Amino acid sequence: MPVKYHIHTEPAPPRVRPVGKLGIVEWREDCAGCHNCVKRGCIYGFYRDEADRLRDEFGYLDYVYQCKGCLTCIQNCTKGILTRVVNPEYERLGDDYYTPDIILSTWYQAETGRIPVSGAGYGGPFSGSGFDSMWTDMSEIVRPTRDGIHGREYISTSVDIGRKLAQLAFADGSLSVEPPPLVESPFPVIFEAVPGKWHRGKVAYSIAKAAAHIGLYAVVRHDDIPPELSVERDNVVPWVKNADGGASVAAAALVMVDDGKDIAAVQAALKQQNAKRIVAIRVPAGPDTTRRVGELVAEGAEVIYLVFDAHGRELAPSKPRHMRDVLRQLHTALVKAGERDLVTICASGGIAQAEHVAKALICGADLVAVDVPLGLALECRLCGECERGGICPIALGDVDPEYAVRRIANLIGAWHQQFIELLGAMGIREVRRLRGEVGRSMFFEDLERETFGRLFGKRKNSNSTM
């Protein structure tokens, strides 16, 4: 049995004061001066050791950032002078997809390497758009042996990247066909190329180095590969423009190229430079995705790298579908054609949380690529100042590479723990079994149609982007 994949994490406190969600407002003029203030009864102990916290390396006791919203102090105050409020600066973070809650959760995971837990519980809606209208089946959570984190059961999270054989052939007891090359990733996540807005200082180098540190692959534009990185030792995936660009990175185990009219010839040329390398074809996701991928698979494509926008939607002039629906359609079409096992499909864009990794795989992907969460791990606030040419409020370009590697390793380590928990609760011991396993999930549209649809009919605004 292979050694368990483990990501070492260690605390990485924020460089700048973070934006918190909750705050406690108190009216001191009405305070009764209780000898044992109810604030010291906080179940998270934030006020209990206030003097010590003010002297630690964090430098301050940030009630707004650290408060978990358990409401113990508010409920127990004898004078009723404590009130919980939401920080208005927090509400301005991110956008409608990368919500303030997601940003704050990502910061916490990058700081601690732990699964986020909120004392206030989940107060949001139970259905929304995209992945939020999809739930996983956790029925096996009642079995005590389904516990991958604490070591009582081995759960594999590794995936193979590359083209597979349709069938094996033997002659005289020996394999008569040569299997195509494959590379293994210990976790179904690859780091997407760093967006241009974050190309400052050592950010791109730090993200690629973090991928190598935890054993994952990172896509780097061919002309942006830092001289400190080795395409062979550091799991760099060069993103080349054509076959000529692949000649200088012949040692790379995996290389990426944009889709085009002569892509089959480009792939053949790249394979000629190094027969053991794997070529990933970068395909923009759109209404014609299923047909185009089918053509590429027939031409011998090894890896299809589907690119969605930052919110996980296809590139379409109107009513773009979410990654969830595109992947389901593509996976089903390839299964019907008997070609699904021939090719590896990676989905890039819109992967904001650990649960999105599992849901993308359930819909039909083999692995996913992440980009925005890596910037969030480095304390980015998605304020847009970098795009407007303004001053970055966190001085992202000054981040220390060693510190950045720790933050990103913490984030992916927390994601890996959540992924293990989810697989165990679903009764799945190998991530390869999760691909296309829609029977282990529930979709809001299906449930609504099968229940209320019989009574009230179809929604007028119903569409596949929910």
Q: What is the DSSP string of 138-179?
A: -GGGG-TT--TTTTSS--B--EEES---SS--EETTEE-SPP
Q: Are 401 and 206 spatial neighbours (Cβ–Cβ below 8 Å)?
A: yes
Report which of 292, 330, 329, 324 is spatially closest to residue 311, judged by C-alpha positions: 324
Chain centre to alpha carbon of residue 347: 11
Average pLDDT over every residue of 92-97 = 90
Question: CB-based contacts of 386: which residues, under 8 Å, 6+ apart?
Answer: 197, 198, 200, 392, 396
Structure tokens that stand for 156 in this block: 């594999």
What is the rounded distance in angstroms from the CA atom of residue 389 to the CA atom of residue 116?
Answer: 33
Average pLDDT over every residue of 189-208 = 93
What is the rounded distance in angstroms from the CA atom of residue 105 to the CA atom of residue 191?
Answer: 19
Model pLDDT, residue 58: 47
Report which of 355, 350, 348 is spatially closest to residue 115, judged by C-alpha positions: 355
> What is residue 426's three-state secondary structure?
helix
What is the rounded distance in angstroms from the CA atom of residue 444 to the CA atom of residue 442?
Answer: 7
Q: What pLDDT digit, counting tens, does each position of 402-453 carry?
A: 999 999 999 999 999 999 988 888 888 899 999 999 988 999 888 888 888 7
Domain 159-450 class? alpha beta
Count Cβ atoms below 10 Å from residue 270 Cβ, excluding itself. 25
What is the rounded distance in angstroms from the CA atom of residue 88 to the CA atom of residue 100?
Answer: 11
Q: What pLDDT digit, counting tens, does each position of 21-71 carry?
A: 876 666 566 677 776 777 777 777 766 655 455 445 444 445 556 677 777
Model pLDDT, residue 26: 61
Domain ranges of the chain: 22-86, 159-450
Q: What is the mean pLDDT of the chain?
A: 86
Question: CB-based contacts of 62: which residues, under 8 Å, 6+ apart?
Answer: 17, 18, 20
Average pLDDT over every residue of 295-304 = 96
Structure tokens that stand for 93 in this block: 């973070």
